[in-house]
Amino acid sequence: MSARRLESGGRIDRTTPISFTWDDKSLSGFRGDTLASALMANNQRVLGRSFKYHRPRGIMSAGVEESGAIVTIGRGNRTDPNIKATMQELYDGLEARGQNAWPNVRRDIGAVSGLFSRFFSAGFYYKTFMGLPPFEWGRGTGLWMQYEKLIRKAAGMGAASREADPDCYDHAHGFCDVLVVGAGPAGLNAAVTAAEAGRDVLLVEQDFELGGDFLNQPGPEAETRRLSLIAAAEKAGVQIMTRTTAFGLYDNGTAGLLERVSDHLPAPAAHQPRQRFWTVRAGATILATGALERSVAFGNNDRPGVMTVSAARTYLNRYGILPGERIVVATNNDSAHVTSDELAMAGAQVVLADARSDVARRDRISVRSGVAPLQVLGGASVSGVKLAQHRDGAWRRAETESCDLLLVSGGWSPVVNLLSHRGAKPVWNAENACFLPGPTDEAVFAAGSAAGIWNVDACEASGIAVTKTAFGESATLPEPGGWQAPIKPLYEVRLPDTKPKAFVDPQHDVTSVDVRLAHQEGFVSVEHMKRYTTLGMATDQGKMGNIIGLALMAEALGKDIPEVGTTRFRPPYTPVAIGALAGRNVQGHFKPLRRTPLHDWKLKEGAIMTDAGLWHRPWYFARSGETITEAYIREATTVRETVGICDVSSLGKIAVQGPDAGEFLNRIYVNGFGKLAIGKARYGIMLRDDGMVMDDGTTWRLADNDFLMTTTTTNAGKVMVWLEELLQTRWPDLRVHVTSVSDQWGGAAVAGPQSRAVIADCLEGAAIISDEALPFMGVASARLKGDIPCLIARISFSGELAYEVYVPAGYGVAMMDLLWGAAEPVGGCLYGLEALGALRIEKGHVTGAELDGRMTLDDAGLGKMASSKKPFIGNVLRQRPELTRADRPQLVGIFPKDRSQAFNGGALLSVPGEDTGHGEGWVTAVTHSPALGHWIGLGYIVGGHAAWAGKPVIATDPVRKGDVEVEIVSPHMYDPKGERMYG
């Protein structure tokens, strides 16, 4: 191939030259070029190396189906591998380079693998690399994994950067009556028709210019028509998006679009995303997605200098490039004829080799009837082509034509991919030798060449008619086809009993021999053929090769193509950057952080935060030089001795209101709430339907019909959903309303002997918090200084005299200032989750570590809470036999035998000397107990404290720490009688 840019013609802007590099060589093109057209204009032939055999590859097409010119662009953290040069707009400074080759695509050492290609047939890797050659001796995976290392290095295409992607991506949403995909002759007409009928229309085009096939036509007529349609579309209010691919159709009229906002620029402008991922909900979708020209399988059909006929037309008319000087155009259909004429007019010497017989003479062209390409001559470029003639039921050798470019048209395949996403099976049309869009009940319609209509005028008419039928109006749909002479189906040319290197899927190096071998080995279903040979699994998803593969399999089976079937196309139509799918929901916006009203206040006070679900909660408040252990021990000690303050705002808070609220709570909690006095709180446990513990927390009765329920932080959302479900679906007769008020209240636990004094200091009137006025489990509403309304409940998680104080969220900071202002002077502290954990472990209070969704009330030692006077959720199924066995694990406390030792949460509890099996139990949580002066833990062990008291037990943690001998004690390890909280 010796391509050259013509002096004039094409749609490129010759006044704006653009410089770019190819394998570090500076080249130039023009605005309006793709990387492929610019490389072609610079007569660059070998642009890629194939996947398996490292065969040299050049430009094969001018579009999304490209299987040869696949390159890497960009540098560093903006490296983009596997870019189809045919789809990449040229921009100033674009850096492109070859991939899957060393040292470069022109001279690639990897090409030696081609010498062994006879062994690398389809699926050969399933037959070896298991053990020691030649007979695969051995066991296990050791040898395979050695082979695998080499295979993985050789496989893959381009190399991705390991650095974080510096660009950002947007998500956007759209709604329209009609989504038109493709802005060619059919799509433009469809959009205009729909918009003029008053519909809200979105027209998307993957190209950077509108027009589709109009852009490939020479002369002013097509351009005039194109411009007038665009003008009409704009006038009618069509919303037009270029550089936008509808990559997938989803349920209920939803489409996924990818808008390439700045891929045609050196880098996105500061305000711009690189790409934008659109979710569009359309009332109807019109697919004017065009058709792709396919090749034919014959010897060396993958050589640089072999491309589709329509690609040559595009390069000639759109980019002003004569892609070859001596051109053989091989076709089996009419579509190639006009291109032949145009190439000849542009100065090329053209031989038209038409596989059909009796093809009429054409001016300037040497026409050969009844011949087809058999074998391409040349290596890194085409030097000629051996032709074949079909006689007596077989192909026979014919003459050789010398040429520098071979153009092939094996027919056209309508782009049915998007309908295939919807599960609509394409239907074979024998007359036109192609699959047409299959029937669907959904409001998705195909128009133009996507519906198998070949000539431009009919495509325009199709766009109009299909749109009308989409609205339920009557219209005459043009029939598929439109060529003067019928196509002669042609998928493969080879002499009998030969095995040429004829590529069916050039990107994956799948040859016709591979397809036949798949047949020979029984991989006859199309999906088996696809998976065994990898045909159609490359980055083009078989846009060019699938039908040839089907045809070869059909021939081998002696069936027709439709009997063989088709594989289903999967979204996306063209590959989509994962960054675009993630959009802005990355880094800090990934699962957005929840902050309590006291978040910033705590940070100001030195909180070291830790993840608690989606929240950040204080882990500990380190004073200078303290380790986390020192900090939490100090904090817990301070709570036991003086007072500590802890943010509890993240607890779930649900207002349960209505005349039947008491009854409702009775049903969802294991213990009774109906008779809870106003101004009292009660600890409650709720079970799931299956009888396992779901959540716990205190619920406060504020008024006759008004309860405030608290839940754990983790389960706040789940419990709310659960209550809503029960009220709306199971017990609609209950007059109860639930409202999440989690975010409406900010809360602090104030715990320790001095807590009453601290709070009293902050109140407008201290009397309300006296022991008489507010006894244990009492609830009162009061005013903090500054007339801040608050709720105070005397409840204790730490086991100390303690209160929870809630204020409307906006007063949170004011409350903390007050409380801390009172607590700090008396030697109080702020405490975090680590100290909270220490305090509750000492007391044997359970949290999520103990209530992990697999434990019953009895397991957790809470069985006595269950009311026998009323039914409640989970009460029936919790009594199933396995759940009431005496040998179930039960909650226990754990001390190290040698009190100076520590042990770990997650350790297993086991009998000494037994080092296999699941053990007798496990440790759920540990802490250094400031009160007891040594490490303690909570855990579960079969039979509980009673079964193991005084017996040796090992806490075994082989993955971290090893064994520690422990004692099983009651879970109530500190103040077992609970006297302190009454203080």
Backbone angles phi, psi at 707, to 5 degrees: -115, 150
The minimum distance between CB 64 and another protein, in angstroms, equals 13
Nearer to another protein, 730 or 951 (CB): 730
Residue 959 in contact with another protein, rule: CB under 8 A: yes
Q: 768 and 779 in contact (C-beta within 8 Å)?
A: no
The stretch among 56-64, 671-679, 957-965, 970-978 that binds another protein (CB under 8 A) is 957-965
Residue 735 in contact with another protein, rule: CB under 8 A: no
Q: 230 and 188 in contact (C-beta within 8 Å)?
A: yes
Residue 678 in contact with another protein, rule: CB under 8 A: no
Residue 977 in contact with another protein, rule: CB under 8 A: no
Residue 379 in contact with another protein, rule: CB under 8 A: no
Of 607-626, binders to another protein (CB under 8 A) are 610-611, 613-614
The minimum distance between CB 594 and another protein, in angstroms, equals 10
The minimum distance between CB 654 and another protein, in angstroms, equals 12
Residue 50 in contact with another protein, rule: CB under 8 A: no
Nearer to another protein, 16 or 884 (CB): 884
Residue 136 in contact with another protein, rule: CB under 8 A: yes
Q: Please identify which residue in 112, 164, 557, 949 interacts with another protein, judged by CB under 8 A.
A: 164
Q: Residue with structure tokens 């929901």?
A: 585
The minimum distance between CB 491 and another protein, in angstroms, equals 21
Nearer to another protein, 209 or 442 (CB): 442
Q: Please identify which residue in 16, 125, 898, 912 interacts with another protein, judged by CB under 8 A.
A: 125
Residue 630 in contact with another protein, rule: CB under 8 A: no
Residue 571 in contact with another protein, rule: CB under 8 A: yes
Residue 577 in contact with another protein, rule: CB under 8 A: yes
Residue 250 in contact with another protein, rule: CB under 8 A: yes
- Packing angle between helix 628-641 and helix 833-843, nearest 10 degrees? 60
Residue 868 in contact with another protein, rule: CB under 8 A: no
Q: Please identify which residue in 9, 562, 579, 753 interacts with another protein, judged by CB under 8 A.
A: 579
The minimum distance between CB 914 and another protein, in angstroms, equals 9
Q: Which two tokens mark 734?
A: 């209950």
Spatial distance between the Cα atoms of 429 and 416, rounded to a whole number of angstroms: 13
Residue 35 in contact with another protein, rule: CB under 8 A: no
Q: Which two tokens mark 127?
A: 């037959």
Of 828-867, binders to another protein (CB under 8 A) are 848-849, 852-854
Q: 751 and 798 in contact (C-beta within 8 Å)?
A: yes
Of 410-449, binders to another protein (CB under 8 A) are 421, 423
Q: What is the DSSP string of 676-720?
A: PPTTEEEEEEEE-TTSSEEEEEEEEEEETTEEEEEE-TTTHHHHH
Residue 403 is classified by DSSP as -
Q: Please identify which residue in 292, 353, 622, 873 interacts with another protein, judged by CB under 8 A.
A: 873
Q: 752 and 640 in contact (C-beta within 8 Å)?
A: yes
* Angle subtended at Cα 591 by Cα 590 and Cα 592, rounded to the nearest 5 degrees: 90
Q: Which two tokens mark 399?
A: 């003459």
Q: 609 and 616 in contact (C-beta within 8 Å)?
A: yes
The minimum distance between CB 765 and another protein, in angstroms, equals 39
Spatial distance between the Cα atoms of 612 and 715, rounded to a whole number of angstroms: 11
Q: Please identify which residue in 34, 44, 61, 79 interacts with another protein, judged by CB under 8 A.
A: 79
Spatial distance between the Cα atoms of 831 and 825, rounded to a whole number of angstroms: 16
b/e code 158-180 from CB counts within 10 Å (16+ = b)? beeeeeebebbbbeeebebbbbb
The minimum distance between CB 201 and another protein, in angstroms, equals 19
Spatial distance between the Cα atoms of 186 and 456, rounded to a whole number of angstroms: 8
In angstroms, how far is the first alpha carbon of the chain from the final one? 96
The stretch among 117-125, 231-239, 311-319, 943-951 that binds another protein (CB under 8 A) is 117-125
Residue 570 in contact with another protein, rule: CB under 8 A: yes
Residue 932 in contact with another protein, rule: CB under 8 A: no
The minimum distance between CB 135 and another protein, in angstroms, equals 5
The minimum distance between CB 883 and another protein, in angstroms, equals 4
Paired strand residues for 593: none
Q: Residue with structure tokens 């000639």?
A: 316
Of 475-534, binders to another protein (CB under 8 A) are 499, 513, 517, 520-525, 527-528, 531-532, 534
Residue 171 in contact with another protein, rule: CB under 8 A: yes
Among 427, 435, 687, 396, residue whose Cα is nearest residue 543 = 435
Backbone angles phi, psi at 376, to 5 degrees: -85, 135
Q: Please identify which residue in 958, 978, 982, 983 interacts with another protein, judged by CB under 8 A.
A: 958
The minimum distance between CB 25 and another protein, in angstroms, equals 23
Q: Please identify which residue in 106, 425, 595, 688 interacts with another protein, judged by CB under 8 A.
A: 688
Spatial distance between the Cα atoms of 771 and 777, rounded to a whole number of angstroms: 11
Residue 251 in contact with another protein, rule: CB under 8 A: yes
Residue 144 in contact with another protein, rule: CB under 8 A: yes
Of 879-908, binders to another protein (CB under 8 A) are 879-884, 904-908
Among 273, 277, 285, 590, residue whose Cα is nearest residue 450 = 285
Residue 361 in contact with another protein, rule: CB under 8 A: no
The stretch among 19-27, 211-219, 426-434, 955-963 that binds another protein (CB under 8 A) is 955-963
| Contact partners, residue 865, CB within 8 Å, separation at least 6 | 670, 671, 685, 857
What number of other Cβ atoms are within 10 A of residue 845's Cβ? 20
405-409 and 829-830 as β-strands: parallel, antiparallel, unpaired?
unpaired
Residue 219 in contact with another protein, rule: CB under 8 A: no
